């Protein structure tokens, strides 16, 4: 579930946990758990709105962006293979 969350953050950044939760139809608690791990692994970082210290926004770090780009490239190659097969 980690790669799809990085994918959502890479596509939608800056994005909050509620949006990620709705995008994947997974509980907010699961999003919190995954994003905490990704922050510790320095794949994403957090940011707060200046007037709202409660809402956390997620953005990719350079490492996270690299992983996001590789994941996107993998999907493109898989789609090419599926299209050739069909």
Q: Check residue 40 and give its pLDDT.
A: 96
Q: Check residue 57 and give its pLDDT.
A: 95
Residues in the chain: 86
Q: Check residue 18 and give its pLDDT.
A: 93
Give 5-45 as a 3 state SS string. Answer: HHHHHHHHCCEEHHHHHHHHCCCHHHHHHHHHHHHHCCCEE
DSSP run (H or E) holding 74: helix 62-85
Q: What is the pLDDT along the chain (86 residues), one digit of tens a residue?
A: 788 899 889 999 999 999 999 988 889 999 999 999 999 999 999 999 888 878 899 999 999 999 999 988 988 888 887 888 77
Q: Check residue 68 and give its pLDDT.
A: 93
| CA dist., res. 41 & res. 85, Å (int) | 37
Q: Kindly report the backbone phi and psi dihedral angles of residue 16, in degrees, each rounded to the nearest multiple of 5, phi listed first.
A: -100, 170
Q: Check residue 49 and give its pLDDT.
A: 82
Sequence-separated (6 or more) residues with CB below 8 Å from residue 3 = 67, 71
């Amino acid at each position: 579930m980690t790669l799809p969350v990085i994918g959502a953050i890479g596509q939608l950044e800056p994005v909050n946990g509620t949006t990620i939760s709705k995008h994947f139809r997974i509980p907010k608690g699961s999003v919190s758990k995954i994003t905490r791990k990704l922050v510790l692994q320095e794949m994403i970082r957090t940011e707060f709105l200046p007037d709202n210290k409660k809402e956390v926004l997620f953005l990719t770090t350079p490492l996270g962006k690299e992983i996001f780009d590789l994941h996107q490239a993998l999907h493109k190659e898989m789609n090419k293979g599926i299209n050739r097969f069909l």
